[in-house]
Chain A
Amino acid sequence: MVGKLNYLHNRGVLDWVIQRTSAALLAIYTIGMIGFLIANPNLEFETWRNLFSSPLMRVFSLVTLLFLCGHMWVGMWTVITDYLTPLQLGSYAKPIQSLCQIGIISLIIFYAIWGTFVFWSI
């Protein structure tokens, strides 16, 4: 479905592509993890550690984390601009939207740094 992406410079198209590709990657990661847990019913710390200490898994996990952050941002930005509009909040809408966006960006940056630290420290 996704082709040459001639219109990717448009914010709406970019957001849409981020949301869809990240959703697909998150689904693959989740299914992979569920498969791993099913394949290892008596999971021990060593097995868990071995999985995440392989460079491939580390990179895959970090890329998934990055896509999760993108997914979160697009989703939350959409929710904010759907529900916190001048129709509901009048002239307070813009400052409240900005405040929420700053809060969400801070939280996403915190999650990204924390997640990277967790994956890299295994």
Chain B
Amino acid sequence: MLVSIYRYNPETDDKPYTQSLEIKLPEGKDLMVLDVLALAKQEDPSVAYRRSCREGVCGSDGMNINGTNGLACITPVSNVVGPDNKLTLRPLPGLPVIRDLVVDLTTFYKQFEKVKPYLVNDQPAPDKERLQSPEERKKLDGLYECILCACCSTSCPSFWWNPEKFIGPAGLLQAYRFLADSRDTSTEQRLEALGDPFSVFRCRGIMNCVSVCPKGLNPTRAIGHIKSMLVS
């Protein structure tokens, strides 16, 4: 299989280039893209990428695989490679490249931090825990599962254009996760902080975030709920 990898080392390269490697895959096995990258690294040990859990939990190996963002560890090669038997790997778009497939996620995390992704409750703490009914708890399904792999935000044109001002789908999914939480008491303050023209309202409902989310989450729906809360 022909594997093309985006290569760029700011310390030694003037500009990025694509390196093509011919990788021999074991027969009768449908490898994950991360396995192919490991084989590529055997060919050329200088290829840089992030990885950790290798089972879609840590969110480290988000990258652009044949034009679509995804996690290399849970993307089977057969799902992304066409009849040309070619695999093209690029870093997540719209963020500065540290090296090869490793991007600088500082902007992404800054936006995440803005939404105060933690429970705020001004009531005295109970002896054991703050209880929720099963119905209240159910509202958090489809929100808390985000692993912050950045596949969604880096596939969003609004995030490419205004990365410093638009919070992006990942951050907004978490913003709604706490707005929807019955134990959180700062709903008003959270909504006030989101009312400017950029933080939420730059979402145009393109839904790239939904189509790339490796966990099958729906940030567009969460953003819609935030907008509804802001105009209600």
Q: Interface of A with B (CB < 8 Å)?
A: 1-7, 9-13, 15-17, 78, 81-83, 85, 87
Which B residues lie within 8 Å of A85 (CB)? 161-162
Q: Which residue of B lies closest to A20 (CB)?
A: B231
Min Cβ gap A88→B in Å is 9
Q: A19 to B37, alpha carbons, bound, how many Å?
A: 47
Residue pairs across A and B with Cβ atoms less than 8 A apart, 28 shown, are A1-B231, A2-B232, A3-B231, A3-B232, A4-B232, A5-B231, A6-B232, A7-B191, A7-B231, A10-B195, A10-B196, A11-B195, A12-B194, A12-B195, A12-B196, A12-B198, A12-B201, A13-B195, A13-B201, A13-B231, A15-B201, A16-B231, A81-B198, A82-B162, A82-B202, A83-B161, A85-B161, A87-B161
Checking B194, B197, B231 against A17 with a beta-carbon cut-off of 8 angstroms, the contacting residue is B231
Interface check B192, CB cutoff 8 A: yes
Counting from the closest, the 8 A-B pairs by CB-CB distance are A10-B195, A3-B232, A12-B197, A12-B201, A12-B196, A82-B161, A7-B230, A7-B195
Q: Which residues of B contact A4 (CB under 8 A)?
A: 232
Measured CB to CB, the residues of B under 8 A from A are 158, 160-163, 191-192, 194-202, 227-228, 230-232
A68 to chain B, nearest CB (A): 20
Bound state CA distance, A85 and B166, in angstroms?
A: 13
The verdict on A13 contacting B230 (CB below 8 Å), with A82-B161, A87-B161 known, is: yes
| A12: B residues at CB distance < 8 A | 194-201, 230
CB distance from A1 to the nearest CB of B (A): 6
Residues of A within 8 A of B230 (CB): 7, 10, 12-13, 16
Q: Which residues of A contact B232 (CB under 8 A)?
A: 1-4, 6
Chain A nearest CB, measured from B188 CB (Å): 8
Please measure, in the bound complex, the distance between the C-alpha atom of A51 and the C-alpha atom of B231, giving whole angstroms.
Answer: 36
Give which listed residue, A1, A5, A83, contacts B228 with CB less than 8 A: A1
Cα distance A12–B201 when bound, in Å? 6
Residues of B close to A82: CB separation below 8 A? 158, 161-162, 202
Residues in B neighbouring A16, C-beta threshold 8 A = 201, 227, 230-231
Q: What is the CA–CA distance of A5 and B197 in the complex, to the nearest angstrom?
A: 16
For A2, the chain B residues whose CB sits under 8 A away are 231-232
User: How far does the Cβ of B146 sit from chain A's closest Cβ, in whole Å?
Assistant: 23
Chain A residue numbers with a CB within 8 Å of B163 are: 87
Cβ contact of A81, chosen from B162, B191, B200, cutoff 8 A:
B162
* Residues on A with beta carbons closer than 8 Å to the beta carbon of B197: 11-12, 15, 78, 81
Query: Separation in Å of the B97 CB from the closest CB of chain A?
Result: 15
Task: Please give, as numbers and ranges, the residues of chain A lying within 8 Å of B202 by CB-CB distance.
Answer: 82
- Nearest CB of A to B230, in Å: 5
Query: How close is A11's CB to chain B, nearest CB, in angstroms?
Result: 5
